[in-house]
Structure 1
Amino acid sequence: MNREQLTRMATGKGFIAALDQSGGSTPKALLQYGIPEDSYATDKEMFDLVHAMRTRIITSPAFTQAHILGAILFEDTMDRTIEGIPTSEYLWGKKGIVPFLKVDKGLADLAEGVQLMKPMPDLEPLLERAVEQGIFGTKMRSVIKEANPKGIKKIVEQQFEIAKVILKAGLVPIIEPEVDIHSMDKQASEKILKTEIAKHLALLNDEDRVMLKLSIPTEPNFYAELQKEEHMIRVVALSGGYPQNKANKLLAKNHGLIASFSRALTQDLHVDQSDEEFNKMLENSIKAIYEASIT
């Protein structure tokens, strides 16, 4: 573990940019950016286009360590370069931004009110490559749709089981059991989730350090206890489908909770914008999310 990166993540001001759309979510990200699905015929063409979009974001003068602590990458992005430099190396070496890697393979079918993560048979080799690339930590997402105690228990158990593999590899896991913002019993799910997370945090080794990525809670500062837990580097919030303005307003009510936004970060960017327009729009977006993250 890079101690300088650890200190930055634990004490720095800013937020995490989620640039980790995978094969399933990339078409939506490109469409939001102004590139329809009929613009590409193969996965390679699709990933080339999304890498060009991410490169434009990362190389923008607005994308700096002044407001951004870390960036989450998709595996394909980690394996590519920016200006001839491996992406993770560019982020840390050129921008001072801590690189993370999305490691999950998507969601399983809904069962007991939740969607667990699909199996990850190649996780350990992927973690080895991540370490070689200078990645600091990982991110993995599962989703809670209903306040089903059995389902939520399984979600948290799976997350921490895989987190221990990631810790063993020398990386910091971002544990992401998202509660669907449209759930009719969102607040009830959050209560069950917090209890289950606390149980598993108490079982970690003294030296283990983890992060959480959670939906913005219904009750402001609901996760304050988890933020102070001895194993916790940082608790970050996902936008969950909220537009940026609403996500920022909700986030700002939670002291110490910082953003890790994806769609809400890039929602106003468009492929046809001039570099001046693009950079100004990105700058405005970054500053607004930053302000909501330092309350």
Structure 2
Amino acid sequence: MSIEQLAETAQAMVAPGKGIIAIDESTATIGKRFAAVGIENSEGNRRAYRELLLTTPKLSSHISGAILYDETLRQSTQAGVPFAKYMAEQGILPGIKVDKGTTPLAGFPGELVTEGLDGLRARLEEYYRLGARFAKWRAVINIGEDIPTGTCIEANAHALARYAALCQEQGLVPMVEPEVLMDGDHDIETCYEVTEAVLRSLFAALYEQNVLLEGTILKASMVVSGKDSAEQADAQEVAESTLMCLKSTVPAILPGIVFLSGGQGDEDATAHLDAMNRLGPNPWPLSFSYGRAMQQAALTLWARDTAGNFRKAQDIVFARARDNGLAALGQWQGAD
């Protein structure tokens, strides 16, 4: 695929007023979500739930793409239409999570590195054939006493860059996600410093690996207070700090930035995105790639009556997509 085609896909992912829904939970992770609401973690239930999300009426009005798990990319709607084909027909780009999760970083207690580069070229080639047009790889950075170390940051940045280069070789737009976790009692200033160091290392690694930034999307965590911090920054401070950090580290040639919710409440994630866009214009489109913040309320309702509440749950999904689509334009009016 040419750089023009990669760039076109990347731009479509951050089209005005649209974002990405993340439904790429592993079988184990979605099992925990299902268990919390009393749903059996069976292949049939996982397929039905993903169908609920992906077939939400008018979803493409506010959703440009969806990140899928391997199992989901191979599944079909109840009518027998492969999910990737259904999505493409609705104007929603199919994406795929390709990392193999985190493992302890040897020699560095409390720190993690993401694995999955072995055999990735062949997996990406297959995913493209199955209909995927972008991919995602998540790195995890913890904040704590004397961490993160430079070694941890550099190891994860290198893996993200190698993954991104392999994606572009196979015609997939890489979404690079270096998540700085909210866990901890650190203040927003500490989060800023760590996020800045992580993003500087990431873009240096992408440059070294000849990754074309025009065909790359950044999935970023917001600069926020640690969830156990005594002082919680308000939406305006989060917006200002996040924008300042991004402007000092992210090249303007990048097609766009989508934010993860990272454990924020549904409304907090929307409010923070809206506040950032009201501070614009910015060098790049700022949108969303939310998972729990898009799904949790709908999952809870669906679980009470999977047949009777199917359509009502879809209404909630659409409402969350609409609200976040408005926030991506800086036009959200707050919760009803």
TM over 0.5: yes
Number of aligned positions between the proteins: 284
Determine the C-alpha separation between the residues in 2 that align with 1:245 and 1:21: 21
1:14 aligns with 2:22: no
1:180 aligns with 2:181: yes
**Match of 2:138, SS?**
strand
Determine the C-alpha separation between the residues in 2 that align with 1:287 and 1:140: 26
Determine the C-alpha separation between the residues in 2 that align with 1:186 and 1:122: 34
Aligned match of 1:43? none
Determine the C-alpha separation between the residues in 2 that align with 1:17 and 1:246: 17
1:245 aligns with 2:245: no
Determine the C-alpha separation between the residues in 1 that align with 2:149 and 2:28: 26
What amino acid is the match of 1:48? G
**Match of 2:61, SS?**
coil
Distance change (3 Å), C-alpha of 1:226 and 1:77: farther
Determine the C-alpha separation between the residues in 2 that align with 1:253 and 1:110: 36
* 1:209 CA displacement: 1.8
Superposition pairs of residues 193-272 of structure 1, within 5 angstroms: 193-203=198-208, 204=210, 209-218=215-224, 219-221=241-243, 222-224=245-247, 228-230=251-253, 232-255=254-277, 256-269=285-298, 270-271=302-303, 272=305
Determine the C-alpha separation between the residues in 2 that align with 1:237 and 1:152: 19
Identity %: 24
The answer to which of 78-87 and 115-124 deviates more is 115-124
Distance change (3 Å), C-alpha of 1:73 and 1:206: closer
Determine the C-alpha separation between the residues in 1 that align with 2:14 and 2:219: 14
Question: C-alpha deviations, 1:41-62, integer Å up to 9, x for none?
Answer: xxxxx23211110101111214
Superposition pairs of residues 98-247 of structure 1, within 5 angstroms: 98-109=93-104, 112=108, 114-146=111-143, 147-183=148-184, 184=186, 185-203=190-208, 204=210, 209-218=215-224, 219-221=241-243, 222-224=245-247, 228-230=251-253, 232-247=254-269
Uncovered stretches (5+) of structure 2, i.e. residues with no partner: 225-240, 278-284, 331-336
- Would you say the 8 A contact 1:148–1:189 is kept in 2? no
Query: TM-score if structure 2 supplies the norm length?
Result: 0.77
* 1:80 CA displacement: 1.0
**Match of 2:178, SS?**
strand
* 1:187 CA displacement: 2.1
Query: TM-score if structure 1 supplies the norm length?
Result: 0.87
Determine the C-alpha separation between the residues in 1 that align with 2:129 and 2:60: 23
Uncovered stretches (5+) of structure 1, i.e. residues with no partner: 41-45
What amino acid is the match of 2:88? W
Aligned match of 2:31? 27
Compare CA radii of gyration and give the structure with the larger one: 2
**Match of 1:181, SS?**
coil
**Match of 1:176, SS?**
strand
